Amino acid sequence: MITSQKTVGEIAAEMPAAVKVFEKYNIDYCCGGKLPLAEACAERGIAHEAVIGDLEQAAAPRTGDSRNWASASLRELTAHIIRTHHEYLKSELPELARKMSKVRQAHGERHGGVLAPLEEVFQDLKAELESHLMKEEMVLFPLIEQMEAAQKSGGSLPAAHCGSVNNPIRVMEHEHDSAGQALARMRELTGGYAVPADACNTYRALYHGFGELETDLHQHIHLENNILFPRASRLEAELA
């Protein structure tokens, strides 16, 4: 049941179709997922009744609904995150960097006041994300998968050099917050990715790409902050 007091993150975790509704209203369901729906709507100046109506409509059974990752195995979820979101970032970040450099060179004289700080914020975000993906794939995700395997085999909590799984989770959540702040700054600098009248096709493609990056990262962070990390933390407590 969808209520105004349920948190945005809980709704998104329980009902994957809610993500599109939150994107429609520009409600943060990843880093800001701990806010109750009513409070999140109030911050956006939106009547929560309207959002609940859209959520209920989105919840109606229909062909092609997204998978409910809250009930999938953790191994399936981490594989999905890597396949869907990590691989996207590995491909898209270098391409966006190439476009960013080209656009700044071509339009820097007229639009340098936007493009110079935009490139700086993006490059910092790119570097942090590339490091973030590596840490998840080499440290956190393997640990989570080992924990789940131990549970299935009746084994004990596997030893980890990082101690508790909550330690790398806290680092990842901090980096998610940092990414969210960078995305907000990029949107602010560009006026919501409003393309200048004299923009070339590459300029337009760059802003479109940044918009897609924002949407993908919101979905990526949601899967981790609201589903994967809480489940991994609970699993560790069960094995301890």
Please report the DSSP string for 38-103 in residue order.
HHHHHHHT--HHHHHHHHHHHHS--TTPPP-TTSS-HHHHHHHHIIIIIHHHHHHHHHHHHHHHHH
User: Is the same domain home to 186 and 107?
Assistant: yes
Q: Is residue 184 part of a domain?
A: yes
User: Is the same domain home to 39 and 106?
Assistant: no
With a pLDDT cut of 90, the percent of the chain lying above it is: 76
User: Is the same domain home to 26 and 49?
Assistant: yes
With a pLDDT cut of 70, the percent of the chain lying above it is: 98
User: Is the same domain home to 82 and 172?
Assistant: yes
User: Is the same domain home to 48 and 83?
Assistant: no
- For the cut 70, the answer to whether the pLDDT of residue 49 exceeds it is yes
Alpha carbons 41 and 50: distance in angstroms, whole number: 10
pLDDT for the residue numbered 163: 81
User: Is the same domain home to 136 and 208?
Assistant: yes
User: Is the same domain home to 87 and 135?
Assistant: yes
Q: Mean pLDDT throughout 69-86?
A: 95
pLDDT for the residue numbered 50: 96
Q: Is residue 124 part of a domain?
A: yes
pTM across the whole model? 0.82
- For the cut 50, the answer to whether the pLDDT of residue 59 exceeds it is yes
**Both tokens of residue 74?**
């953790």
User: Is the same domain home to 195 and 111?
Assistant: yes
- What would the pLDDT profile of 94-126 be if each residue is shown by its tens digit? 999 999 999 999 999 999 999 999 999 999 999
The domain tally of the chain equals 2
Longest dimension (CA), the chain: 64
Q: Sorting pLDDT into bands at 50, 70 and 90, what band is 74?
A: very high
User: Is the same domain home to 230 and 200?
Assistant: yes
User: Is the same domain home to 119 and 194?
Assistant: yes
Q: Mean pLDDT throughout 187-193?
A: 96
Q: Is residue 64 part of a domain?
A: no
Per the structure, the complete domain to which residue 29 belongs is given by 8-59
pLDDT for the residue numbered 62: 53
